[in-house]
Amino acid sequence: MSRFWHSPWLHFGLWVGLVFGMSSIPDLKPPASDVPGIDKLFHAGEYAVLGWLWGRARGRARAGLVSGALLGLGVGVADELYQSSVPGRAVDLFDVAADTVGAALGCLVSSRWT
């Protein structure tokens, strides 16, 4: 049972759940939301962790920039579509761009230093 909790795939899955859980909160705004573009930094950071976890689960040899970018794009689009049904949330393609860049960088870091 202890091995189950140390599974990198579990950590990845829990983070995906957290991403969608945060998206289900109506009218959620990041701290300092009056600063232009700050929400894009939060998106990139959140997805950088996702990309890092993805790379860690897949293994160094299979992680990389393209893998992370595709992950960020796929999960980012799914997340934005989901948000379109949440009151007070809106679809933003720049969020998807920040998600894609963040996940790609996180996966790249994972492939180099994990």
pTM (predicted TM-score): 0.90
The full set of domain ranges for the chain reads 2-23+36-113
- What confidence tier does 107 reach under pLDDT thresholds 50, 70, 90? very high
- Kindly give, in sequence order, each residue whose CB lies less than 8 Å from that of residue 79, ignoring residues fewer than 6 positions away: 19, 20, 23, 99
Residue 1: pLDDT band by 50, 70, 90 thresholds? low
More confident residue, 42 or 111: 42
Phi, psi of 68 (to 5 degrees): -65, -40
Tokens coding 8: 């990198």
Q: What percent of the chain has pLDDT above 90?
A: 63
